[in-house]
Structure 1
C-alpha cells in the first residue's frame, strides 16, 4: 500500500500541443476539452515557477542544417510569451566546414579544438553572420494560424562577449581561436528587461578589436553562469546520456556526472556537453539539460513535463536518497505508523520492517528521514511491487515522492524487472498521472494474490518500465 504522496506537479503532456484556434476552441467532444484543460492547468505551476527566470538555450549548427530552426524558434517564442527571459546561443560548425570547402581550404583541429587561421576566421564570420540573419528572420515571422502569430519578438545582439586567445597549447598555435574572458552582464540584462531575446554567436572580441572564434558550449555556459540563469539548455545532436543498456539517463547529480567523465567511456561529443553542464552546475546554475533537437518540441517537453526527453544535470547533491539500513528501522516506523493507524497502510510492525529493510529506500535531509518506499520483486513474473511510499506532510508537494518513485523504478530496472505495480486505496490519481494503468488483481503474481487482504478493496495499478 502507499500513502498520500506529494501533490503532482505536472501531468504528462499530450503527444502534440494543439496550435490552431479551431482545435482549442472547438474540440470534437467533451473528453477532448477535458484533456486539454487538464493539461493546461497542469502546466501552470511551471509557468509560475519560471516567470522572469533566465534560460540560456544553445544549439549547434547541425540543428540548423537539419531544418529544425523554425520549430525551435517557435518554442522559444512560446517560452518568451510565458514570461521566461531567453538568451539564445548558436553554433555553426558544419556551416564553417562548408565555407572552408568552398574556399578549398582544409580544416585543422588539435585535441578536439579548431585551429582558426586567417582564412578560417573569415569562414567563421561568414557562417555565423548568415545564421544570425536566419535566426532573426525566423523570430520576425508572424503568419496567422502559426505559433508565431502575434509574437512580436525583438532580437538583440551585440559585442557582449569579451574574449582572449587560447594561445599555444601542446606546441600548437591556435591563432584566432579564443575562450570567453568576460560577459557584459549589465547590457544583456537591459536587453532582457526590455523583453527582447538576446542572440549570441560563437564570436568574441578583445579590447584591441580582434575577433576570436569561440565554442558555442563555452559561450552558452559562461553566459548562464554570469546571468545566474535558472537553466542552461543544450539542444543536441545526441539523445542525452545513455547507459550501457542503451537506456536514457534522465537525471544526474554533480557527483554522478563527474564519475561519468572520469570514467572516460563517453563519446567525445557527449563528454563535451556534459563537461559544460557540470561546469554550469558547479557555478550555481540549478539545472543544465542535454535534449535531442530531433524531437519536435523538445525544449517544451523538457521544461513542462515531469520526465522530460533528455538528461538533466542537477546542482543539488542527490545523495540524500539512499538505500535503508538496520539503523533506519526506527525512523521508518515513526514515519509509517500514523498511516497504519488511519488505515492508509497495511500494519507491518517492527519485525516485518527489520526483515525487509533491504527493500527500502529513503530520503534523508539533515539526518532526518523525510520519506521512504520499498521494492518487493517477483522475478519469475519480472514484476515488482512498490509499497509503503510515504512522505512526511511538511515535505509533500516538494518532489520527494517523485524522486522516490523514480528511484524505485530504477532499482526495478536494475533487477531486470519490466513492470511495477502498486496497491492503493487513496492515491490512484497520483499514480495515473505518472504512467500507471489500472488493472485487476488477476494481473498480479499468484504469490501476491494469495497474500492480499481483499477486504481492503485496494485498487491495482501497473506501469511498464
Structure 2
C-alpha cells in the first residue's frame, strides 16, 4: 500500500494494514540498513517523501546508513566552471582542475540532506522528530589508477571502511551519511563511485539490508512482469542484457550482485520516483520492487557420499596452508555422515563436522566441531555462523552437553560465537589421548 492508497483508505482498511505491518516493524527493529540514492534521486520531486520515510524508519528503531550520489550536481558545477572531464566505461576521470567542483557539489548535497532531516514543522511528517545526522571521514580511498591506458587521476576506489566509528554513531541512534568521496592516508580527496561506497560499507558493517533507490523500479522478465525475488546468479542475464544500453543500471546491478554474494542476505532494488517505496517494500508482504536473495537457493543439510568431491575442493587449499588437518578421500568417505554442508546449485559453499566424543565416568556428553570451512568467495558472509548454528542444534538433539573445537588460526572467531578458551586438560579423556602436541592447537569449549 503506497501513501496515495492510504490517504484514500477507510479507517478500517488502515487499521488492517497497520496490524499486518506489525511483524515487519518488530523484525526490522535494531537492524542495520544501508540506503543508497543517486544524485538524480536528490533532484526528484519525490525526494522530500523519501526523507520523510527515512525519518519514519529511524523512529521505528532501524539503524540507518545513507549513501548519496552526486553525478548530475557535479556535471552542473563543472558546466558553470567551464571544465570538461572525460568518462571511460561510464566512470569519470577526475582531474585536479575539477576536484573543487566535485567537492562543492558533494558538500552541497550533504548540507541539503542534513537540513531536510532536521525539519520539524508542525503539521508535517517530520514534526517532533529529533534526528542527529553524522558525516565524517569514514571512507579511506586509494587511486583507481590506470585502466585500459586511461589515468583516472583523482578518481578512487574504497580501500577501507571505519566500521568501528560507524557502529559507535549507530549505537548512539545517529543516522550516518556518506557521500561519493574518500580520503587517502596522505590527505588527498578522491571521487568515488556511489555504488561501491554503499556496497563495501554494507559488506564491512554486515548490514541486514542494502537498498538501492534508482531510476528503475526493479527487474522485469520477458513478459514485463516485475520480478519480486531473484538470486545473485540469476542477475548475470540482466547484466548482459543491459550492458550496452544502460551502463549505470548495470553498475548498480553488479554492486547488488557483489553485495549478495558477500553475505548481504537481502538487497532491494526500488524506484526513487515511487512515493512510499521504502515503506511499501519493507512493511508489506509483496513489496514494490525486486529483492536479491540467495536464501531460498541454498540448503543447509547433512552431507552424503555425492558431496565428497565438493568437500575435497573446499578443504584442500586450507589443508595445504596448514589451517586444517589433511583428510584423505577415503577418510572423508568413511566420515561423511559427520559432516554438514551448505550447498547451492550443486556447489558446496561451506562445511563443518560434528564428532561425538566417548564419555567415561562422570564426564559430560561432549562432541568436537571440526573442519569448519567456507568457500573463499563467501568468507565475509554469515555461512560459517550458519553452519555452526546448524551443528549446535544437531548436537542438542543428540543430547550433547558441551562442544569443543581445536584450532590454530581461528580461535577468535569461535570466541565471538560463544566459545571460551580452555586447555587440553579440559578435553574428555578419550580426546586427550588423540591430542597432537606437535600441532599445538588451542582448545575452546562451549556448554549447550
Relative to the length of structure 2, the TM-score reads: 0.64
d(CA) in 2 for partners of 1:268, 1:14: 32
* Other-structure match for 2:265: 286
d(CA) in 1 for partners of 2:77, 2:343: 56
Is the 2:30–2:61 contact (alpha carbons within 8 Å) kept by the matching residues of 1?
A: yes
* Other-structure match for 1:309: 288
User: Residue 170 of structure 1: which of 124, 141, 148 is its match?
Assistant: 148
d(CA) in 1 for partners of 2:127, 2:104: 31
After superposition, where does 1:294-333 map in structure 2 within 5 Å? 294-318=273-297
d(CA) in 2 for partners of 1:91, 1:146: 26
For residue 317 of structure 1, report the CA deviation from its aligned partner. Answer: 4.4
d(CA) in 1 for partners of 2:190, 2:149: 19
* Other-structure match for 2:190: 212
After superposition, where does 1:392-403 map in structure 2 within 5 Å? none
For residue 13 of structure 1, report the CA deviation from its aligned partner. Answer: 6.4
Is the 2:2–2:276 contact (alpha carbons within 8 Å) kept by the matching residues of 1?
A: no
- Residue 63 of structure 2 is aligned to residue 85 of structure 1: yes
After superposition, where does 1:114-263 map in structure 2 within 5 Å? 114-262=92-240
* Other-structure match for 1:329: none
Is the 1:284–1:315 contact (alpha carbons within 8 Å) kept by the matching residues of 2?
A: no
* Other-structure match for 1:42: 20
d(CA) in 2 for partners of 1:96, 1:68: 21
After superposition, where does 1:361-400 map in structure 2 within 5 Å? none
Is the 1:205–1:212 contact (alpha carbons within 8 Å) kept by the matching residues of 2?
A: yes
d(CA) in 2 for partners of 1:268, 1:103: 27
Is the 1:285–1:315 contact (alpha carbons within 8 Å) kept by the matching residues of 2?
A: no
d(CA) in 2 for partners of 1:317, 1:123: 46
Cα shift readout 1:171-195 (whole Å, capped 9, x = no counterpart): 0100000011100001000100111
Is the 1:254–1:316 contact (alpha carbons within 8 Å) kept by the matching residues of 2?
A: no
Is the 2:210–2:267 contact (alpha carbons within 8 Å) kept by the matching residues of 1?
A: yes
User: Residue 267 of structure 1: which of 231, 243, 246 is its match?
Assistant: 246
- Residue 37 of structure 2 is aligned to residue 59 of structure 1: yes
Give structure 1 regions of 4+ aligned residues with deviation exceeding 4 angstroms: 12-15, 262-266
For residue 152 of structure 1, report the CA deviation from its aligned partner. Answer: 0.7
d(CA) in 1 for partners of 2:47, 2:238: 31
d(CA) in 2 for partners of 1:107, 1:54: 36
For residue 295 of structure 1, report the CA deviation from its aligned partner. Answer: 0.7
d(CA) in 1 for partners of 2:256, 2:189: 26
* Other-structure match for 2:86: 108
For residue 319 of structure 1, report the CA deviation from its aligned partner. Answer: 7.1
Unaligned runs of 5+ in 1: 1-11, 24-30, 321-364, 368-465
For residue 252 of structure 1, report the CA deviation from its aligned partner. Answer: 0.7
Cα shift readout 1:321-372 (whole Å, capped 9, x = no counterpart): xxxxxxxxxxxxxxxxxxxxxxxxxxxxxxxxxxxxxxxxxxxx999xxxxx
Over 3 Å counting, the alpha-carbon distance change for 1:263 and 1:32 in structure 2 is: closer
d(CA) in 1 for partners of 2:148, 2:343: 47
Paired residues, number: 301
Over 3 Å counting, the alpha-carbon distance change for 1:161 and 1:35 in structure 2 is: same
Relative to the length of structure 1, the TM-score reads: 0.62
For residue 33 of structure 1, report the CA deviation from its aligned partner. Answer: 2.7
